[in-house]
Amino acid sequence: MKIYFIQPTPYFRGRQLIKKRRLYFVGLAPAILAALVPDVEFEVCLETIDEVNFDTDADLIAISGMGHAIIRGLDIADRFKALGKTVVMGGYMASLMPEEAKKHCDSVIAGDGEISFVKMTEDFKAGALQPFYRIPLEKLTYPLPRYDLLAEKKIGDFLPVQAGRGCPNSCSFCSVHCLYRGVYLKRGIDEVIRDIREVRRLGFRKFLLLDDNIYSDKAYFSTLCGEIKKLGMKWMSQCSIAVADDGEMLKILADSGCTALSFGLESISQESLDSMNKTWAAASRYGEQIRRVTGAGIDVSTEMVVGADGDTLESIRETGRFIVRNKITVPRFYILTPIPGTDFFRDMAAQGRIVNHDIHSYNGAEAVHKPARMTARELTDAYWLLYKNVFSVGAILKRTVLRADFFRHPLKYLFYLYVNLYYRHQIYQGVTPNII
């Protein structure tokens, strides 16, 4: 039996495909799934850097879209179905809208795949494929991922390693919350370290620690950092900005080799944060918290959304000034989008505020709902203006080169300068910078 696994690339400007020479942020799903079915031939297509082989001899097509790439995934599924192939879809986005995904494929794995994918494969072999699989996990564990399937691709200088999955917070727009509803599963530390050792054995000296909010269990996080430190690896991750208030944890992180953290700040408007059920965050303290993290020697990347009910055209402009003022080296923005299956979608639909029902427009770069204080068109225009302001040449230089610590780490900031100039090039092509 042969499975052809496809990680689609997102669209931009309608149906144009985002293509790159090298993929830096690689999904872990294919490596995990391949390890779960060792008796199956497993071929991986990362469409951002590969071409989809529609003439494949695979028995089963598996598609797992990350974020807005799910839209491209639906189109790929339709084409393979027309060719007579059996298609299964999974991943966060398909899990949020399984009924919609099922219109395009033979079976949908909703939620975690560690048990469901194996069961689905067995059923397919037996000619008894089910339309839906949803088997929740009681514990998060899996064999050593098939990292070799990723390492042979044109990727960056790091590989992903997972620590935990899920999040105790309840942000209404968040796909993680809407799937896990407060559940947070952690892998055994020995298993995480096993994977990091394999990444190092393959010749990598950096890794991306995947976890939706690893700071939610400080004891686990601290112990894991202690074990990582022994390996002499550099690493990056994401977590709650609340870690900035824990000086001890920041020191542990820096000492263990953590070089960068990404924070989902979402908005500088407290009203907007509150409207998204992110009341635990204090927008007024973001600047201070960012300085604490960078003061510990850890670089900061941010992800923010615009279009919440507290946002105005002026607050979106101020967001740009906030990014430059706080010298955020790698900022990313998205338009708040009511993804089907999220609480935010339910709320917007109930209020009659969804103005565009074409799923191909749900790309995070085009407003499809009516915000409280502007039109959808005004939001879309303000979003692209925000990106162009933050990635103007002057703003890029202020955030990457014109900073007090530049001469302590010139090569690092020159690298960030290059990244920002590349993002600027993408923005003027109509491509939003994201983690691909």
- HEC-encoded secondary structure of 239-294: CCHHHHHCHHHHHHHHHHCEEEEEEEEECCCHHHHHHCCCCCCCHHHHHHHHHHHH
pLDDT of residue 410: 95
Domains of the chain, CATH where assigned: 2-133 (3.40.50.280), 240-427 (3.30.750.200)
Q: How many CB atoms lie within 10 A of CB 155?
A: 17
pLDDT of residue 34: 98
Q: Output 430-433 pairs: Cβ under 8 A, ≥24 positions apart.
A: 430/12, 430/13, 431/12, 431/18, 432/12, 432/332, 432/333, 432/334, 432/364, 432/365, 432/387, 433/332, 433/387
Kindly indicate the confidence band of residue 176, based on its pLDDT and cuts at 50, 70 and 90.
low
Residue 15, pLDDT > 90, answer no
Tens digit of each residue's pLDDT (9 = 90 or more) over 315-335? 999 999 999 999 999 999 999
Helices (H), 296-390: 313-325, 343-350, 376-390
What is the C-alpha separation between 199 and 209, in angstroms, rounded? 12
Identify the CA nearest to 271 among candidates 307, 215, 310.
310
Q: The tokens of 14 are what?
A: 């309608």
What is the C-alpha separation between 392 and 386, in angstroms, rounded? 10
pLDDT of residue 344: 87
pLDDT of residue 309: 92
Question: Averaged over 9-25, what is the pLDDT?
Answer: 89
Question: Averaged over 201-217, what is the pLDDT?
Answer: 91
Tens digit of each residue's pLDDT (9 = 90 or more) over 371-422? 999 999 999 999 999 999 999 999 999 999 999 999 999 999 999 999 999 9
**What DSSP element (H or E) covers 219?**
helix 218-229
Distances (CA, A) of 184 to 157, 238, 329, 395: 29, 15, 30, 38
Distances (CA, A) of 380 to 55, 326, 374: 39, 24, 10
The mean pLDDT value of the chain amounts to 92
Around 226, how many Cα atoms within 13 Å sit in the side-chain half-sphere?
9
pLDDT of residue 180: 64
Question: Averaged over 46-70, what is the pLDDT?
Answer: 93
- With H, G, I as helix, E, B as strand and everything else as coil, classify residue 332: strand
Q: The tokens of 20 are what?
A: 């790159």
What is the C-alpha separation between 46 and 23, in angstroms, rounded? 8
Q: The tokens of 39 are what?
A: 């008796």
Which is higher by pLDDT, 68 or 347?
347
Which value, to the nearest 10 degrees, does the dihedral of the CA atoms of residues 264, 268, 274, 280 take?
A: 60
The residues with which 133 forms a beta bridge, in sequence order, are: 109
pLDDT of residue 212: 80
Question: Averaged over 164-182, what is the pLDDT?
Answer: 67
Strand order in the sheet with 107-109: 41-46, 2-7, 60-64, 86-90, 107-109, 132-133
Cβ pair 283, 322 in contact under 8 A: no
Residue 150, pLDDT > 80, answer yes
Residue 436, pLDDT > 60, answer no
Question: Averaged over 192-197, what is the pLDDT?
Answer: 98
Identify the CA nearest to 87 among candidates 69, 68, 106, 64.
106
Kindly indicate the confidence band of residue 173, based on its pLDDT and cuts at 50, 70 and 90.
low
Residue 139, pLDDT > 90, answer yes
pLDDT of residue 96: 84
Kindly indicate the confidence band of residue 216, based on its pLDDT and cuts at 50, 70 and 90.
confident
Identify the CA nearest to 230 among candidates 196, 191, 199.
196
> CB neighbours of 187 closer than 8 A, spacing ≥ 6?
140, 141, 162, 163, 164
Kindly indicate the confidence band of residue 182, based on its pLDDT and cuts at 50, 70 and 90.
low
The residues with which 416 forms a beta bridge, in sequence order, are: none
Question: Averaged over 146-161, what is the pLDDT?
Answer: 96
pLDDT of residue 215: 87
